[in-house]
Amino acid sequence: MLPSFHYYQPESLAEALNLLADLPGPKKVLAGGTDVIPALSRGELAVEHLVSLKKLDELREIRRVGANLHVGALVTFRELVSSPLVAGFCRLLGEAAAAVGGPQVRNQGTVGGNVVNASPAGDLLPPLFALGAQVKLCRRGGERVLPLAEFLLGMGKTMLMPEEILTEVIFPALPGGAASSFVKLGRRNSLAISRISMAVIIFRNRQGRIEEARLALGAVAPRPVRAERAEALLKGRCPGPALLEEAVAAIAETVAAILGRRASAPYKRVAVKGVARQALLRAVPEFGKP
């Protein structure tokens, strides 16, 4: 059963920001509710005021503005999956959205909720890290834009202030030649002890040599981590099976160092190799060609 609270459904962003600024006591924003409602009914969350964003259509858009893509906070996983802009300029974000829960969660769950919930297993976070995303936070009388890497502080912790609303995530649209992929191991409600995800973006020159690799791992630390050693060793080289195994080994070493002696470490140390191999091959099939 849900505890009692005051429920508000503002008609505009300005009205929502005024409510958040003026309401006293514990308050929370409600988007799709797929994290908030279960937490309320389990008694893990106590609020006096719940401010729904449901009617704020201005937060539902995906737009291209110059070189950037702007994804509104209320865009759902399903909308990411079916968006031509996402398919054209950040395919890995659509792949990550497609990998989320079941159809009901994909219909309800939003980009803003996934980012603010800041779960280590949040599926949109590794792709957004790799894309170099920023988040726009609005409050009455002001706004700020922060890199996602600064916004996420750790498990369930962010820089969001109680009177702020995350209105959109912004990142550079990927050029046509960029290769990318998202691979996830495990299902949220399965009995598997743990899961890992990986987002890959690779830029190559005309000769096929790798100019830049961005590899972001999810669910191995409280927030996504970049596999920097593997990124460095890929730079300037041509994909092939030997380089693939070098990169996989470097990624596995990075993950092993992060996991330390955690209970899930023995499983994840092995599992990450399969995830990394699959993600790199999916992004750049030449990794598999001698």
Ligand X SMILES: Cc1cc2nc3c(=O)[nH]c(=O)nc-3n(C[C@H](O)[C@H](O)[C@H](O)COP(=O)(O)OP(=O)(O)OC[C@H]3O[C@@H](n4cnc5c(N)ncnc54)[C@H](O)[C@@H]3O)c2cc1C
For ligand X, which residue of 69, 71, 91, 117 counts as binding (CB under 6 A)? Answer: 117
Interface with ligand X, residue 38, by CB under 6 A: yes
- For ligand X, the closer CB: 4 or 189: 189
- For ligand X, the closer CB: 225 or 233: 225
Assign 107 to helix, strand or coil: helix
- For ligand X, the closer CB: 53 or 213: 53
Interface with ligand X, residue 170, by CB under 6 A: no
Interface with ligand X, residue 165, by CB under 6 A: yes
- Strands 134-139, 165-172: parallel, antiparallel or unpaired by DSSP? antiparallel
The residue whose two tokens read 């600024």 is 21
The CB-of-275 to ligand X minimum distance in angstroms stands at: 15
What's the helix, strand, coil split of the chain in %, to 5? 40, 25, 35
For ligand X, which residue of 19, 20, 83, 123 counts as binding (CB under 6 A)? Answer: 123
Interface with ligand X, residue 73, by CB under 6 A: yes
Q: Give the long-range contacts of residues 254-260, CB within 8 A, separation 24 or more.
A: 254/217, 254/225, 254/227, 254/228, 254/229, 254/230, 255/196, 255/217, 255/220, 255/227, 258/220, 258/221, 258/225, 259/220
**Dihedral angle sign, alpha carbons of residues 136, 95, 97, 224:** negative
Q: Which of residues 41-60 bind ligand X (CB under 6 A)?
A: 53
Q: What's the rounded Cα separation, in Å, for the pair 190 and 186?
A: 7
The CB-of-273 to ligand X minimum distance in angstroms stands at: 22
Sole window of 5-13, 117-125, 205-213, 270-278 interacting with ligand X (rule: CB under 6 A): 117-125
Distance (Å) of CA 176 to CA 149, 167, 173, 249: 25, 27, 9, 29
Sole window of 22-30, 172-180, 240-248, 267-275 interacting with ligand X (rule: CB under 6 A): 22-30
Q: What's the rounded Cα separation, in Å, for the pair 38 and 94?
A: 25
Question: DSSP H helical segments within 90-237, as ranges?
Answer: 91-98, 103-108, 111-117, 125-131, 148-151, 228-234
Sole window of 16-24, 104-112, 204-212, 246-254 interacting with ligand X (rule: CB under 6 A): 104-112
Interface with ligand X, residue 29, by CB under 6 A: yes
The CB-of-123 to ligand X minimum distance in angstroms stands at: 4
Sole window of 35-43, 127-135, 198-206, 256-264 interacting with ligand X (rule: CB under 6 A): 35-43
Interface with ligand X, residue 179, by CB under 6 A: no
Q: What's the rounded Cα separation, in Å, for the pair 17 and 220?
A: 35
For ligand X, which residue of 10, 120, 122, 224 counts as binding (CB under 6 A)? Answer: 122
Residues 83-102, mask of contacts with ligand X (x by CB under 6 A): -----------------xx-
For ligand X, which residue of 83, 110, 180, 254 counts as binding (CB under 6 A)? Answer: 110
CA-closest candidate to residue 169, choices 226, 112, 216:
112
Binding site for ligand X (CB under 6 A): 28-36, 38, 53, 73, 100-101, 105, 108-110, 112-114, 116-117, 122-123, 160, 165-166, 188-189
